[in-house]
Amino acid sequence: MVRAKVIGAGGYGGVGIVELLLEHPQAEIACLVDVADVGTPISRLYPHLAGFCDLPLLDPSDPEAQKEADVVFMATPDGVGMKLARAYLERGVKVVDYSGDFRFNSAESYAEYARRIGRDPVHAAPDLLPETVYGLPELHRAEIHPGRRLVGNPGCFAVSCLLGLAPAMRHGLVEPWSVICDCKTGVSGAGKKPNPGFHYPARYDHMNAYKLAGHQHVCEIERELGLLAGAEVRVTFTAQVVPVCRGILSCLYGQLTRPIAADEVLAMYRAFYADSPFVRLFDRSAAIGSMHVRGTNYCNLIVDVDERTRKLRVVSHIDNLVKGQAGSALQNMNLLFGLPETAGLRRAGQYP
């Protein structure tokens, strides 16, 4: 059994990985750690876990929080993982970090990201950056294996956009300068911490764009698309909050480099994702939406061509808290330990 420790267990990302670990056939929870609600059973914070997981949240200094583990999930804000990772790695514990601390392989690329979010651009563990792997299995599966020990989980918007655009970039179907990412997220993307702008009266019946000066996930989107295209990529990215709890809808566009039919593009996407069990592909006639991925690790893609404007159009649906966060983290854990990639993740969700 893989023994898993969760740091930041009281947040949405923490409880998300707890939910998934409870259903994993080859993993168990060693302990739950947080700096808030210390001593409180997680089932008191989240009553739906009563009888399934009643472990208390432990202070990081508690001896019980030092229990042996094989993997630690750091469901923590930026700046935390980079300070904690080394001690775990030296003890032979694999690390999956939710934040942007280990999404980049050099101090320079991290600094660009850090400046965008207003953080100190100096990384606390720059020597670890060359060994981290970007944790989007659909693009880096071969690099996420038992010989690796450090994974930077991708950002939720990045997952949605990259899965929607990767095959097109790999095949040179769209101009690298022409990509538009029009993305909408549910309010849970802001996390659990109370925020006046996300109080119910401020969110009900209200939609708005935000971070127009530059969203932090753009850094990883442009880097990954550039690697696929073999050229510099710049995207026009607009993030919006809509009054739903969870889910991301990304409408993705790019100018086609040559005339091509929608069914031919769809065939390219099917071939690209032939070994990716969590990407499902549909044509323009599919009546699908965010409800059909809610609570799952799936990404549903509608792949289309607007013949009139000669543009690629891809509509991407994910659950921001699962495929955009805890689901990808567990998928990465499976690969790090040589387990079936779908272990603990093959579920259909709920309808309606």
Residue identified by tokens 């094989």 is 70
One domain, residues 312 and 271? yes
Res. 352: pLDDT tops 90: no
* Residue 278 to residue 171: CA distance in whole angstroms: 21
Res. 190: pLDDT tops 90: no
Give yes or no: 31 in active site: no
- Alpha-carbon separation of residue 112 from 12, 136, 143 (angstroms): 27, 20, 24
Residue identified by tokens 């690099």 is 143
Number of domains in the chain: 2
Looking at the domain assignment, is residue 350 inside a domain?
A: no
Looking at the domain assignment, is residue 52 inside a domain?
A: yes
Active-site hit among 156, 181, 219, 299: 156
Res. 193: pLDDT tops 90: no
pLDDT at res. 203: 86
One domain, residues 328 and 230? no
- Segment 71-81 mean pLDDT: 97
One domain, residues 147 and 227? no
Given a contact cutoff of 8 angstroms between Cβ atoms, the answer to whether 142 and 161 are in contact is no
* Residue 77 preceded by cis peptide, ω within 30: no
CATH code, 95 = 3.40.50.720
What are the pLDDT digits (tens) for 247-279? 999 999 999 999 999 999 999 999 999 999 999
Looking at the domain assignment, is residue 343 inside a domain?
A: no
pLDDT at res. 198: 77
- Segment 141-145 mean pLDDT: 98
Which structural domain, as residue segments, surrounds residue 39? 2-154+323-336
Query: Distance between the two ends of the chain, CA-based, in angstroms?
Result: 35
Looking at the domain assignment, is residue 61 inside a domain?
A: yes
- Segment 215-224 mean pLDDT: 94
Mean of pLDDT over the chain: 96
One domain, residues 19 and 88? yes
- Segment 28-44 mean pLDDT: 98
Given a contact cutoff of 8 angstroms between Cβ atoms, the answer to whether 333 and 267 are in contact is no
One domain, residues 91 and 220? no
Amino acid at 191: G
Looking at the domain assignment, is residue 299 inside a domain?
A: yes
One domain, residues 143 and 182? no
One domain, residues 187 and 282? yes
- Segment 34-58 mean pLDDT: 98
One domain, residues 299 and 327? no
* Residue 165 to residue 182: CA distance in whole angstroms: 13
pLDDT at res. 189: 86
Reported as a pLDDT band with limits 50, 70 and 90, residue 201 is confident
Res. 199: pLDDT tops 80: no
Nearest Cα to 101, choosing from 137, 66, 55, 134?
134
One domain, residues 298 and 331? no
Which of 147-156, 201-210, 250-259, 324-333 shows the lowest per-residue confidence on average (mean pLDDT)? Answer: 201-210
One domain, residues 170 and 316? yes
- Segment 223-233 mean pLDDT: 97
pLDDT at res. 184: 97
One domain, residues 6 and 51? yes
Res. 116: pLDDT tops 90: no
Looking at the domain assignment, is residue 328 inside a domain?
A: yes
What are the pLDDT digits (tens) for 147-181? 999 999 999 999 999 999 999 999 999 999 999 99
CATH code, 188 = 3.30.360.10
What are the pLDDT digits (tens) for 238-248? 999 999 999 99
Looking at the domain assignment, is residue 77 inside a domain?
A: yes
Q: What is the DSSP secondary structure assignment for residue 323, as one 8-state letter?
A: I
One domain, residues 189 and 311? yes
